[in-house]
C-alpha cells in the first residue's frame, strides 16, 4: 500500500483534495482508504476509513480544559498520539492500494510538533510520501513563492518524506498565474527576471539567495497544478506519485 500525507497551510485545499483524489483513484479501479487526522474538522467531503475524531473530542477538550482553539488542537493531537496503537490497528485492518492521509487544518500543529512526527513515523505504507499543497493565490508573487518553497522544505526536513508539490485550485485563478509559477519553478532565469522587476537591492539579493539554496537542496521536486473541482492534473499527479513512491526521490540527499 502507498501512503500519502497531504500537508499544507490552512485553507490550501487538503481536505477537498483528499476527497476528490480518492474519488478519482476509485474511478481508476484502485482501492483507496482515507484517514482524517484533523480532530477539529466539522464535516468532510469523504467518508474516512480511520478518523481521529473517534479517539478524541476536540470540543470537549476545549470546554473541559478551558482552552482556546489552538491550545485545544495541540492537546487533542497529544490525545490522538496516546491512541496511536489503536490507530495503527485500525489501519492494519485496511487492505488498500492507496491510503490518503488528510492532516490538520493548522499545518504547524502536525508538521512542527513531535506528535506529527510520531504519527508520520508510525502510520506508514509499504512506501510513504507527502503532497505539499501550495495555494496559487498566495504564490503569485515571487517573494511568496520563495517563502512557500521554503516552508515546504522545512516540513520535508522535519517529516523526512519524499515530496511532490501541488499547486491547488488551478481552476480558480487565471491560467497565466499557473504558467508563471510553473516557469519560476522550472527556470532560475524566469524567476530572477520577474523577481527583479519587483524587488531591488538587498531584498532581491536575499530572495535570490534563498531560491538558489532551495534549488540546490531540492531542484527536482515536481510541482503539479491540480484542481479538485475539475480534476485537472490528477493523471499527472497519479503518475508522479507512483514514480516517487516506487523509486523514492532521486534528489533526497
Strands 223-225 and 32-36: unpaired
Question: What are the grid coordinates assigned to 47, written together?
Answer: 467518508
Rounded to an integer, what distance in angstroms lies between the CA atom of residue 4 and that of residue 30? 14
Selection from ligand GDP, Mg ion, none that 16 binds (CB < 5 to 8 A by kind) is: ligand GDP
Question: What are the grid coordinates assigned to 10, written together?
Answer: 490552512
Contact 75, 141 (CB under 8 A): no
Q: How far is the CB of 232 from ligand GDP (least distance, A)?
A: 9
Stretch that binds Mg ion, among 20-28, 78-86, 100-108, 163-171 (CB under 5 A): 100-108
Contact 186, 248 (CB under 8 A): no
Place of cell 480534476: 231
Q: How many CA atoms lie within 13 A of 138 on its CB side?
A: 18
Question: What are the grid coordinates assigned to 163, written together?
Answer: 515530496
Q: Per CB under 6 A, does 194 bind ligand GDP?
A: no
Selection from ligand GDP, Mg ion, none that 53 binds (CB < 5 to 8 A by kind) is: none
Q: How far is the CB of 129 from ligand GDP (least distance, A)?
A: 18
Q: Per CB under 5 A, does 15 bind Mg ion?
A: yes
Stretch that binds Mg ion, among 84-92, 105-113, 172-180, 202-210 (CB under 5 A): 105-113
Residue among 173, 198, 238 at smallest CA distance from 23: 238
Q: How far is the CB of 12 from ligand GDP (least distance, A)?
A: 4
Binding mask 220-239 for ligand GDP (x = CB under 6 A): -------xxx----------
Q: Per CB under 5 A, does 9 bind Mg ion?
A: no
Binding site for ligand GDP (CB under 6 A): 8, 10-16, 105, 168-169, 171-172, 227-229
Amino acid at each position: 500500500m502507498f501512503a500519502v500525507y497531504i500537508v499544507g497551510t490552512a485553507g490550501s485545499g487538503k481536505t477537498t483534495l483528499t476527497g476528490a483524489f480518492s474519488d478519482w483513484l476509485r474511478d481508476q479501479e484502485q482501492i483507496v482508504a482515507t484517514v482524517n487526522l484533523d480532530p477539529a474538522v466539522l464535516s468532510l467531503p469523504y467518508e474516512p476509513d480511520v478518523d481521529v475524531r473517534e479517539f478524541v473530542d476536540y470540543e470537549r477538550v476545549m470546554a473541559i480544559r478551558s482552552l482556546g482553539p489552538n491550545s485545544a488542537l495541540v492537546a487533542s493531537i497529544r490525545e490522538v498520539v496516546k491512541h496511536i496503537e489503536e490507530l495503527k490497528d485500525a489501519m492494519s485492518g485496511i487492505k488498500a492500494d492507496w491510503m490518503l492521509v488528510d492532516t490538520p487544518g493548522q499545518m504547524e500543529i502536525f508538521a512542527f510538533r513531535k506528535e506529527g512526527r510520531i504519527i508520520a513515523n508510525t502510520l506508514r505504507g509499504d512506501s510513504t510520501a507527502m503532497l505539499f499543497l501550495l495555494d496559487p493565490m498566495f504564490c503569485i508573487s515571487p517573494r511568496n513563492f520563495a517563502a512557500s518553497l521554503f516552508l515546504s522544505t522545512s516540513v520535508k526536513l522535519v517529516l523526512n518524506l519524499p515530496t511532490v508539490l501541488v499547486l491547488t485550485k488551478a481552476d480558480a485563478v487565471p491560467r497565466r498565474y499557473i504558467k508563471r509559477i510553473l516557469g519560476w519553478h522550472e527556470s532560475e532565469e524566469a524567476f530572477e527576471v520577474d523577481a527583479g522587476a519587483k524587488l531591488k537591492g538587498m531584498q532581491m539579493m536575499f530572495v535570490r539567495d534563498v531560491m538558489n539554496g532551495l534549488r540546490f537542496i531540492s531542484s527536482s521536486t515536481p510541482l503539479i497544478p491540480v484542481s479538485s473541482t475539475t480534476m485537472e492534473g490528477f493523471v499527472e499527479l497519479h503518475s508522479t506519485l507512483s514514480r516517487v513512491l516506487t523509486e523514492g526521490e532521486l534528489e533526497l540527499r
